A and B are shown apart, each in its own frame.
Chain A
Amino acid sequence: MLQAFWNWFDPTAWYPLGRVVGGTIYPGLMATSGVIYNILHALHLPVDIRNICVLLAPGFSALTAWSTYMFTKEMKDESAGLLAAAFIGIVPGYISRSVAGSYDNEAIAIFLLMFTFFCWIKALKTGSAFFGTLAALFYFYMVAAWGGYAFITNMIPLHSLVLIIMGRFSSRLYVAYSSWYAVGTLSSMQVPFVGFQPVSTSEHMAALGVFGLLQIIAFAELVRSHLSSKQFQTLLLASVIGLGVLGALGFVGLTYKGWIAPWTGRFYSLWDTGYAKKYIPIIASVSEHQPTAWPSFFMDLHFLIFLFPAGVVMCFNKLRDEHIFVILYAVVASYFAGVMVRLMLTLTPVVCVAAAIAFSSLLDTYIDPIEPESIVEGQPEGDVAGAVDSKKAKKTAPQPTSTALGDIVSKFSSSSKPSRPHGIFGLNTRLIVILNAIGMLIFFVLHCTWVTSNAYSSPSVVLASSNPDGSQHIIDDFREAYYWLRQNTPENAVVMSWWDYGYQIAGMADRPTLVDNNTWNNTHIATVGKAMSSTEEVAYPILRKHDVDYVLIIFGGLLGYSGDDINKFLWMVRIAQGVWPDEIQEPNYFTRQGEYRVDEAAPPTMKNSLMYKMSYYRFSELFGGNQAMDRVRSQQMPKTGPTLDYLDEAFTSENWIVRIYQVKKEDLLGRDLKTANAFAQGKKRKRTKPPVRRRAV
């Protein structure tokens, strides 16, 4: 079964290029569902594969909660771990990927991310090759599941590097890192999509470099144990400088020779937010790749975002190796989440962890029934002892109730246990803080429930709106249109649409598509962009060359659905311009004043573009002589709409959201279709003159 998946060539995607699915996909998600399916069937539980796919994300979110618990437990204690698990269970930033039906790579990837980090911390703490290898195995799973594995690939080396710089090199680090890197890299290269990237692209070079550095340092340690310190100092200096220069030269040389691929565009766009818009519009065109707006931090994380810095600061208190990891993770992920909305997902776990550390410290402090000794007779004691005490105290202390709290507190304070210099006096202070904290938790739960029900609970293909009387109105145009395609077109009819709808057409209409959401070929997408943004005459040969039978567009002008193709149109223009700068120019699609308009004042290039014509074809007729109105752009449309000569309207859905056009065949008599159309409508043609072949007498 795995081999069939591996060798799967899909001739209906990216027509006519086809897609080598096995080689262009992270197979982890599908493999996981397949394994679950087979296990259930081996247990004689006949569960449909679709149900498994739907419920995979919630199932894995439970595992995520567990691994977050384990991870946080390593940082602080079980109570913080429990809090972190509870946080990540409902935080909107993660629930967006863990609701039922969110069958996405990220659904399993976040669990793998957290578990790999847990294994890494464990390996580092114990110096165990077993946990190092376990981390490598989960790293391999992660590589097979999500492109975001590069985050781990760079996080762990970064952590190791910082530890080395801080002078915390130890044999534990050496064992953990070496076992992780060696096994992890070799196994990750087994994923066909990744192949030789771990040794040939810049993104993976940090891991390799740190691996080399660790070997050198370990060797230096060995040498030091055999040599006198004076000799060693000079030797170390010379060798470090020599090796550093050599390594840097080698890296530059290999990059220059092209053996190591330079950074990819997606990577540059992480550092320069304007880069993608300028050079790779296809990346910038994805809404998930836009820089994050401030409100979305609150929306996705709620009060955790305020506790998050506190938790990070608390990590500085103890600053063991694993705390450095959390600090680094927090810094790096915060930056990335600010650059790309999508990377909010990688930030969410560390926010939960840090917030849990902060919150549990707060609760530890304020619920701890031991009253501190008064400062006068207080004896200074080590922090570590205090921490241990508080742990012990917490274990033995029963859950204090507000009424009996005073008694218990006094009982404990009078007990034989050694008292501490820090702590909280009295009941009212405790109550104020604890009630506030509980209030925050309650609001957090309410917020998460609200966001989940509003933003993440409805499928994206079925839209819901509310009628004036408050009842729900379902807009089901997408499924209607895809079903029409499935029922009314030949099975091999090629459908062209913008790439956003590629997977939907392939899945729900079962028709070959030109481009889809797996945006691996920029030129092919640009071809579609060019066809959409050119005139009919220019677009027609492109359509014929690609055997396009139907063109599908999304039009929201009637209903006010703002995610339609006219709003995405500029991205099509930009992407096409990237490949054909002579033929498509973005400024031509704006008015002289620089406005993006679709009404009477729209520039001719815009009005003649295929996308405009298809969107507004017969739109004004709908208004029965009244002024037509585009509700998305709030502009009044011209009375006479555009005409189409090379396409026929085939289908328009109930609310005009999906419009499908059929591409006409070449004219029978070899005329261009515009002339043929004029003839068919009975228009008189001007008398043609013979081609000038004869001389005047």
Chain B
Amino acid sequence: MFSRWTLVTLLGLALSGAAKSSTGDSVLVVLDSISDKDNFSQFFNGLTDKGYDLTFRSPKDAKPTIIEDDVAQFSHVVLFSPDSKNYAQDITPQSLVTLLEKGSNLLVALPSKKQTIITSLAPEFSLILPPPGTPLVSHFPERDTPVTVVPVTPPSSNPILTPNTPPVWFSGVPFAYGNNPLLVPILNAPAESFAADSGSDSGADAVVEAADKGGEGLWAGSQMGLVAGFQALGGARATWVGGVELFSDEYAQKELPQGVKPGNTQFTSDVAAWTFQESLALRIDNVTHHLVGETGPRETYTINDNVVFTAHISKYNSGKSAWEPYSGITDMQLEFTMLDPHIRTSLPPATGNPGEYSVTFRVPDRHGVFKFIIDYKRKGWTHLQSSTVVPVVPPRHDGYPRFLSAAWPYYIGAISTSIGFVLFSTLWLAGDDREANKKFAKTTKTE
């Protein structure tokens, strides 16, 4: 008995020692009050089981701070404090953006009723919130819950989510997506849902009136988002959730109208895995370039050289907590750029070597400072960006072809002139002496 326990502890230690996330395993959870954590015990236990190291604080606690001495103190920050209006000094919209800049990931739940710093931060992520106090309402499908508690079917094709996740319970506010390519929609509202401040059927007219008045139309339909990811340019990820209840134990156990268990547990786990950079995390290990037939990179290339460009790309495997070579990208491109891309070619995976992508191309007939550029941005995946500068120079003075067939007229001209000169000189020198003597005699006489 005792030995079995030690084994389990050891195993747990071993697991916790290996970070599940590719960026670190310290998580700060900000809750309205620390006692709330029992409401989300399934979600938090799931994270702890994966090996995360959770720290809880309430918004007004001064410690632990999220950024100290300009260093982010946690790899991930979860803001499950929708009802708090006041925060300690270290949590401001600006500091949260700074946190992303420093590489920490954010998981934020939007407040449903109040205007807080969270609602003023959302527009910076191009999320447009409905007027305050208008939660998502849906009368379909028929169920015994309030109209604001809505079962939503997750999309089946999103790479972030496990395929065929059952519908999840949601309650909270929807939002509209701004025009920002960095946004990654994860869960959209059902087509028949809308945002309204009144859940009762008698308020229908009021809803229509308000929609007309606001000039924004009715907040309705499947274009509204409920859960959205955001892939910041530095690589950090932020996820916005319309309502914190999505993660609650209550919703995870509440049966769907069809009588099956909801997908909340699976869904929240997937969302957390993506946010904390467990899934869909890629990186470029290295890039190399060399001439065809050589192995080492050159400092400069000559125009019209044939160059091989190779990139090694890894994907994070959260199961093994390790980066593994990844050859699954088929639509990557390589650009050879000076101001504008002079060459844009596909960079396909090399057969035989996992994780290697390679392409051979001819350097353009143009000298200058060129860059090999990989710019791979796909929704949900880590952006892959790499830029390698290499000067392309004109041929050396002795690098040009020595004889040109087009120059034959000139060769003939030069040769014939030389021959003619030699012939003329010989004829002149070996010519008739007598006449020259005569002339010479004449000239001497005249003098």
Contact = CB atoms under 8 A, between A and B. Distances in A.
B97 A9 contact: no
A670 B182 contact: yes
A667 B233 CA distance: 8
Nearest to B182: A670
B212 A18 contact: no
A5 B338 CA distance: 24
Contact of A666 (B126, B219, B233, B369): B233
Given A17-B369, A668-B97, A679-B93, A693 B223 contact: yes
B97 A669 contact: yes
Contact of A670 (B180, B217, B300): B180
Nearest to B393: A9
Contact of B101 (A666, A668, A693): A668
A697 B300 contact: no
A690 B128 contact: yes
Contacts of B284: none
B328 interface: no
B100 interface: yes
Interface in A512-539: none
Interface in B178-231: 178-182, 208, 211-212, 215-221, 223, 230
B232 interface: yes
Interface string A118-133: 0000000000000000
Nearest to A512: B369
B176 interface: yes
Nearest to B212: A696
A382 interface: no
Interface stretch (B15-23, B117-125, B165-173, B268-276): B117-125
A694 B221 contact: yes
Interface of A: prevailing SS: loop
A696 B101 contact: no
A688 B128 contact: yes
Interface string B380-400: 000000000101111011100
Contacts of B179: 691
Contacts of B223: 693-694
Contact of B208 (A11, A687, A695, A697): A697
Contacts of B394: 9, 20, 23
Given A15-B369, A492-B389, A679-B94, A691 B124 contact: no
A20 B211 contact: no
Nearest to B223: A693
B233 A16 contact: no
B300 A9 contact: yes
Contacts of B300: 9, 11
Given A669-B182, A694-B218, A688 B123 contact: yes
Given A17-B369, A670-B180, A695-B217, A687 B339 contact: no
B391 A696 contact: no
A528 to B, nearest CB: 13
Contact of B126 (A670, A684, A687): A670
Contacts of B97: 668-669, 679-680
A6 interface: yes
B123 A687 contact: yes
A491 to B, nearest CB: 12
Nearest to A8: B393
A7 interface: yes
A546 B339 CA distance: 7
Nearest to B370: A16
Contacts of B93: 679
A230 B241 CA distance: 110
A696 B217 contact: yes
Nearest to A686: B123
A641 to B, nearest CB: 24
B420 interface: no
A231 interface: no
Nearest to A682: B94
B368 interface: yes
Nearest to A693: B223
Contacts, number: 109
Contacts of B393: 7, 9, 18, 20
Contacts of A696: 211-212, 217-218
A545 interface: yes
A689 interface: yes
B413 interface: no
Contact of A685 (B123, B211, B389): B123
B397 A694 contact: no
A257 interface: no
B368 A16 contact: yes
Nearest to B234: A668
Interface in B394-440: 394, 396-398
Given A18-B369, A694-B221, A670 B181 contact: yes
A688 B120 CA distance: 11
Contacts of B120: 684-685
B367 interface: yes
Interface string A8-27: 01010001111010110000
A6 B212 contact: no
A137 B165 CA distance: 87
A694 B217 contact: yes
Contacts of A693: 223
Contact of A688 (B178, B233, B397): B178
Contacts of A689: 128, 215-216
A385 B230 CA distance: 102
B232 A669 contact: yes
A669 B93 CA distance: 13
Contacts of B126: 669-671
A666 B232 CA distance: 11
Which of A11, A492, A680, A687 is most buried by chain B, counting CB atoms within 10 A of its CB? A11
A18 B217 contact: no
A668 B232 contact: yes
Interface string B83-122: 0000000000110010011000000000000000000100
Contacts of A17: 338, 368-369
Given A16-B369, A668-B101, A680 B94 contact: yes
A236 B230 CA distance: 90
Contacts of A16: 338-339, 368-371
Given A18-B391, A545-B339, A667-B233, A691 B176 contact: yes
A11 B368 CA distance: 7
A697 B195 CA distance: 14
Given A20-B394, A669-B230, A697 B211 contact: yes
A264 interface: no
Contacts of A685: 120, 123-124
B100 A18 contact: no
A6 B223 CA distance: 63
A692 B178 CA distance: 11
Nearest to A545: B339
B233 A18 contact: no
A259 to B, nearest CB: 16
B212 A697 contact: yes
Nearest to B387: A547
Contacts of A192: 397
Contacts of A23: 394
Contacts of A695: 217
A680 B96 CA distance: 11
Interface in A132-171: none
9 shortest A-B CB distances, which residue pairs? A690-B176, A11-B391, A9-B393, A694-B217, A16-B369, A670-B182, A11-B369, A7-B396, A690-B128
Interface of B: 93-94, 97, 100-101, 120, 123-126, 128, 176, 178-182, 208, 211-212, 215-221, 223, 230, 232-234, 236, 300, 338-339, 367-371, 389, 391-394, 396-398
16 contacts: A16-B370, A16-B371, A18-B367, A18-B391, A192-B397, A668-B232, A668-B236, A669-B230, A669-B233, A670-B182, A670-B233, A679-B93, A690-B128, A691-B176, A694-B217, A697-B211
Given A9-B300, A668-B234, 6 more contacts: A9-B367, A20-B367, A20-B394, A669-B124, A669-B230, A688-B128
